[in-house]
Structures are given as C-alpha cells and as structure tokens.
Chains A and B, each alone.
Chain A
Amino acid sequence: MNKLIKGAVATAAGVALLMGGAGTFAYWNDSVGITGGTITAGNLKVAAPATAPSTDGWTVQKNGTGTATTVSTISSFVASPGDKFTLTKTVNVTATGNNLTATLALGAGSITAATTGAADVALAAYLTKTATIAASGTGIAAIGSTGTYSITPGTAGITNSPVTVTVTITYPKDAATVTTAGPNSTAVLNEKASMLGSVNLAGLTVTVDQQ
C-alpha cells in the first residue's frame, strides 16, 4: 500500500512537470508583450578634475586668525600649536537620479601618523580631532553644523560639476589632552607630546554616499 501511494505521488509530480514545459494541453491561451520602455539607473561619482584649478592649495593662519598665508610646500612647513591649515581642492561630482540624495564628507582615516612613534601618534590624534570639510557647488548644501553636506541633484542631475572642497585642520593650542590607543596600551598625551611629530595625508579622501 505504501509503495502504491509513493508511486502515485511520483507519477503525479512527473506529469505536472511535463505540463510546465510547453503551454497547456487543456485550455485556450494567448500572450502579448507590454512595451514598458527602459529603466535607467542613476550615477554617483566623485573624481579629480583633469587639471587642478589654480585656486587649489594650502594656506595657514597663525593662531587661526588673521591673514591666510599661502604655503607652497606643505611638507616643508613646520607647524606649531595654533596653526590652522586650509586645503582647497576642486573635485568633480556626478549625481544623477530623480530621487537621489547623497552626502559628502571627509573620509575616515584621512590623517594618519607617519610612524608608530609617540609624537607622530599624538599629532595625528590632535589633527584628526579638528579636521573638518566644507563644500560648495551646484546642488550642495550644508546639513546643519554636522560637517556633512547634502547633494541633491534633482531631476536634471549634475554631471562632472565642479565642487570646491575645503579641508580645515587645526593644530590646537591649549587643547585638552588626547588619549591614543596603541596595540598594547593607551596613553594620555598633551600638546608637548606632539612636538616634532609627523602625519601622513595620503589618505585624505572625499566620500559621497547615497542616503
């Protein structure tokens, strides 16, 4: 009996599968294509321009105030607490998508200690804490005082639109101590610990993320 049931089930399944292969064998049927057009996905991209504008570059203000002095070679500059660095760069933003909104921000890990030395680590900690980004261009607007900017391209979208990005890094003066974490320990440092330190800016990035 059990074998009979199993055999019946298997037969029924086989027939059902055969019926799915090509139409039906019992009813009238027909089909027609619906012309639905195309759906095009949007795009979100930030890229460096082919030629950097002459307005790009570094300036520094002593104690964060007064006239901004142009720094032709930042790697030759020797910083002291109170110095406020400003890097102006132009990037091209492409944002297309009728409902697309995105944010623009400074990438994580943009400032890193040049070595694992205490002075480098302390300087990186101080500079990372103060690094901010500002941006201006078509469709760009600040989101409150969060240091993040919104990109709203609208239905027209923006393509390779130049956006002026300003990264501000302040070497704090009379700052509170910072705590740095190493692989085996943590340390509480003050400004003096950052003397003769060095940080690497190779990872300085602008990120755009859909919201």
Chain B
Amino acid sequence: MPRLTQTPSVTVTKRRRSLFSFSNILKSMVTVTVAISLSVLAAGGTYAYLNSAQTIPAGSAGGASTTIKSGSASLVITSGAAALSGLYPGVTKTADFTVSASGSADLALSVSSIVGQGVNGLDIKVAPGTCAAPGTAVAAGSLGVTAVAATTYDSTTTPASTVPLCLVVSMLSSASASAAGATTSVSVNLTGVQS
C-alpha cells in the first residue's frame, strides 16, 4: 500500500513595513530633538534666566591679567665656622655667628638639634644675641628671636634683620680623661618657622 506523505507548505508573506511604524516614529522624534537641541546650543546664551558676568580687572592699573606669587622660607648662616680649642674641664668658650632669613617669610628661630652634644664631656648651647651680651642659652627649643625677611611687604617698618647668635661650648668638670687631646665635630641645626 502506498504511503501517503504530505510535505508541509510554508508560505512566506512579505509584510510591507508601515511608514508609521513605532521605530520610524521614534527615529523621527530623536532626529527632531537633536536638531532642536543643536540649534538652541549653537545660538549661545541661556533661554531660561537672565544672567550676566563681568571680569574684575585685578591689575592695579586696571589691567585684567595679574598674578599673586608666593615666596619662600630659608635660613642662611652667615658665619658658621668656629674653631674652639684649648678646652679643659670647667672652661667655657664662645663663638659668634649670625643667621638671616633669605626668603620672603619672617622666621622664628629655634635649636632643633646639636650634633656633638655630650661627646667628650662637651655641653653645647646656643644663646640669642652676641657673645658679649648673650641671652639665655638653650640646647634645644626656641631662641625667642625672629629673623625678619627682606622682601616682606612690611619691610619699611620692620627692615630685614641679621640675627646675632652665640655658640656656647663648655667642657664639664666631669669630663673623662679620654677627652684630653680629643677633637669633636660640632654642628648646630637651627629651625626657622614662619612667624
């Protein structure tokens, strides 16, 4: 008996895309929105609020372009090297030196550290003022004096200063015998903090 077979038929219907399809409408809306936005932006200004701006001529002579510059802070020891010899227990020797502020900020001076302190029985301090008339010597901490910078705006009322300081080196009475004939390198680290 012959087998009856049936091949399923597939009908392909080509649907014509409507001119008013959702995607077409969406595309049109986006295009119109972009076009309007571009034309509004290209025209400049704002369309919602009144506003205005004016450059303030910051230059002293009325010019608009000007600057504010910051300065610097630095300390200079103008006579730092001192050779102290012939020390023996119970003797104190001194050496004058000066410090100035080479930047634009006034600097309050303090002793931050002393290298050589206690070595070979040495007691080292720094005093404000000259060695002829020294103030209170300190091994660390504030010296109570300020180095005034030359370029600060108040230089007319407080001219730049060179601060005299005095290095005070004593050999303690309790120094050991091994200190005899010994050489000790001493350095004083000063700190200047803007006042």
- Asked if B50 is at the interface of the complex by the 8 Å CB criterion, the answer is yes
Instruction: Give Cα distance in the complex from A37 to B51, angstroms.
Output: 27
A79-116 interface with B by 8 A CB criterion = 79-82, 85, 87, 89, 91, 97, 100, 102, 107, 114
The verdict on B152 contacting chain A, using a C-beta distance below 8 Å, is: yes
Q: Which of A42, A72, A82, A87 contacts B50 (CB 8 A)?
A: A42
- Whether B68 contacts A207 by the Cβ 8 Å rule is no
Query: Chain B residues near A89 (CB, 8 Å)?
Result: 56-57
- Stretch among A14-22, A54-62, A142-150 lining the B interface: A54-62
Q: Which of B35-43, B69-77, B108-116 contacts A (4 or more CB under 8 A)?
A: B69-77
Task: Give complex CA distance A44, B52 in Å.
Answer: 7
- Do A210 and B58 contact each other (CB < 8 Å), given the known contacts A60-B153, A82-B194? no
CB distance from B193 to the nearest CB of A (A): 10
CA distance A60 to B72 in the complex (A): 18
How many residues on B have C-beta within 8 angstroms of the other chain's C-beta atoms?
Answer: 30
The answer to whether B51 and A210 touch across the interface, beta carbons within 8 angstroms, is: yes
A195 to B104, CA, bound (A): 10
Instruction: Indicate whether A208 reaches chain B with its CB closer than 8 angstroms.
Output: yes
Pick out which of these stretches binds chain A: B59-67, B134-142, B172-180: B59-67
Beyond A57-B60, A78-B104, is A127–B68 a contact (Cβ under 8 Å)? yes
Say yes or no for A155: interface residue by CB 8 A criterion.
no
Q: Does B53 belong to the interface (CB within 8 Å)?
A: yes
* Interface residues on chain A, number (Cβ under 8 Å): 59
A81/B56 in contact, CB under 8 A: no
Question: What residues of A have a CB within 8 angstroms of the CB of B73 in the complex?
Answer: 80, 195
A165 interface contact, C-beta 8 A: yes
Most B CB within 10 A of own CB, among A78, A197, A200, A211: A78
Of residues 177 to 211 in A, which have CB atoms within 8 Å of B's CB atoms? 194-211
- Closest approach, in angstroms, between the C-beta of A163 and any C-beta of chain B? 10
* Nearest neighbor of A48 in chain B, beta-carbon distance: B54
Taking the nearest CB of chain A, how far is it from the CB of B117, in angstroms?
A: 28
B69 near A197: Cβ-Cβ < 8 Å: yes
CA of A205 to CA of B64 in the docked complex: distance in angstroms?
10
A169 with B50: CB separation less than 8 A: no
Q: Which residue of B lies closest to A126 (CB)?
A: B70
B105 contacts A by Cβ under 8 Å: yes
Are the CB atoms of B60 and A73 closer together than 8 Å? yes
Q: Are B66 and A173 in contact (CB under 8 A)?
A: no
A71 contacts partner chain B, Cβ-Cβ < 8 Å = yes
Q: Report 9 cross-chain contacts, Cβ distance below 8 Å, ordered by A residue.
A: A62-B154, A78-B70, A78-B152, A79-B71, A80-B73, A80-B104, A197-B69, A200-B67, A210-B51
